[in-house]
Amino acid sequence: MIEHRFQVDLRGVVDLLSHHLYASPRVYVRELLQNATDAITARRAAEEDPPAGRVVIEPLPDGALRVTDNGIGLTEEEVHTFLASVGRTSKRDDLGFARQDYLGQFGIGLLSCFMVADAIEVESRSAKGGSGVSWTGYADGRYTVGTADAADVGTTVTLRPRAGVEHWLTPEAVRDLASSYAHLLDVEVTVSGQRITEPQAPWEVAHDDPEVRRAALLDYGARVLGSRPMEVIDLNVPEAGLRGLGFVLASPAAVGQGGHRVYLKRMLLSEDASKLVPEWAFFVRCVVDTSMLRPTASREALYEDDLLSTVREGLGEQIRNWLLDLSVNHPERLAAFLRVHHLGVKALAVRDDEMLRLVDAWLPFETSRGTMALRTFRRGMSMIRYVETVDEFRSLAAIASAAGTPVVNAGYAYDTEILERLSRVDPDARVRRLDPGELAAKLDPLPPGQEEAVAPFLETARAVLRELDCVPLIRQFDPVSMPALYVISQKARTQDTVRRSIEAVDDLWSDVLSAFDDVTVEHRPELVFNWRHPLIRKLTSYPPGPALRHAVEALYGQALLAGHHPLRAVDTAALNRSFLALLDRAFP
576 is in an annotated binding site: no
Should residue 75 be labelled a site residue for ligand ATP when binding is judged by CB under 6 A? no
Q: Quick one: 471 exposed, middle or buried, by C-beta within 10 A (0-12, 13-18, 19+)?
A: middle
155 is in an annotated binding site: yes
Per-residue x/- marks for ligand ATP, 543-582, CB under 6 A? ----------------------------------------
Pick 74 or 334: Cβ nearer ligand ATP: 74
Candidates 26, 44, 66, 90: give the one binding ligand ATP (CB under 6 A): 90
Pairing of strands 132-138, 143-148: antiparallel
Dump the DSSP string for 527-554.
EEEETTSHHHHHHHTSPSSHHHHHHHHH
Should residue 74 be labelled a site residue for ligand ATP when binding is judged by CB under 6 A? yes
> Which strands make up the sheet holding 407-409, listed edge to edge?
370-373, 364-367, 407-409, 383-387, 430-433
Should residue 492 be labelled a site residue for ligand ATP when binding is judged by CB under 6 A? no
Which positions ≥6 away from 315 have C-beta within 8 Å?
235, 237, 246, 276, 277, 278, 281, 286
Candidates 50, 71, 161, 229: give the one binding ligand ATP (CB under 6 A): 71
C-alpha neighbours within 13 Å on the C-beta side of residue 166: 7
Should residue 229 be labelled a site residue for ligand ATP when binding is judged by CB under 6 A? no
Should residue 35 be labelled a site residue for ligand ATP when binding is judged by CB under 6 A? yes
Longest Cα–Cα distance of the chain, Å, equals 119
CB 282 within 8 A of CB 249: no
C-alpha neighbours within 13 Å on the C-beta side of residue 41: 17
Candidates 18, 105, 158, 460: give the one binding ligand ATP (CB under 6 A): 105
Should residue 36 be labelled a site residue for ligand ATP when binding is judged by CB under 6 A? yes
Should residue 359 be labelled a site residue for ligand ATP when binding is judged by CB under 6 A? no
Candidates 106, 143, 412, 579: give the one binding ligand ATP (CB under 6 A): 106
Should residue 130 be labelled a site residue for ligand ATP when binding is judged by CB under 6 A? no
d(CA 114, CA 94): 29
Should residue 495 be labelled a site residue for ligand ATP when binding is judged by CB under 6 A? no
438 is in an annotated binding site: no
Q: Which residues are registered as beta bridge partners of 473?
A: 528
Backbone angles phi, psi at 196, to 5 degrees: -110, -5
d(CA 325, CA 321): 6
Should residue 18 be labelled a site residue for ligand ATP when binding is judged by CB under 6 A? no
Q: Closest approach of Cβ 178 to ligand ATP, in Å?
A: 15
Should residue 293 be labelled a site residue for ligand ATP when binding is judged by CB under 6 A? no
Candidates 50, 53, 59, 104: give the one binding ligand ATP (CB under 6 A): 104
Pick 249 or 269: Cβ nearer ligand ATP: 269
Q: Which residues are registered as beta bridge partners of 138?
A: 119
Give the Cα-Cα-Cα angle 455, 459, 460 (nearest 5 degrees).
125
Candidates 18, 75, 89, 409: give the one binding ligand ATP (CB under 6 A): 89
Should residue 108 be labelled a site residue for ligand ATP when binding is judged by CB under 6 A? yes
Total residue length of the chain: 588
Q: Closest approach of Cβ 154 to ligand ATP, in Å?
A: 7
Should residue 82 be labelled a site residue for ligand ATP when binding is judged by CB under 6 A? yes
d(CA 50, CA 45): 9
CB 345 within 8 A of CB 359: yes
Which positions ≥6 away from 261 have C-beta within 8 Å?
224, 268, 270, 271, 273, 285, 286, 287, 288
Pick 108 or 363: Cβ nearer ligand ATP: 108
Candidates 26, 64, 66, 107: give the one binding ligand ATP (CB under 6 A): 107
| Contact set for ligand ATP, span 144-163 (CB under 6 A) | 155
Pick 9 or 511: Cβ nearer ligand ATP: 9
35 is in an annotated binding site: yes
Should residue 68 be labelled a site residue for ligand ATP when binding is judged by CB under 6 A? no
Hey, CA dihedral for 468, 471, 476, 479, is it positive or negative? negative
Q: Closest approach of Cβ 170 to ligand ATP, in Å?
A: 22
Q: Which stretch binds ligand ATP (CB under 6 A): 102-110, 170-178, 262-270, 366-374?
A: 102-110
d(CA 10, CA 35): 20
Binding residues for ATP: 31, 35, 69, 155
- The binding site for ligand ATP (CB under 6 A) comprises 31, 34-36, 39, 69, 71-74, 82-83, 89-91, 104-110, 155
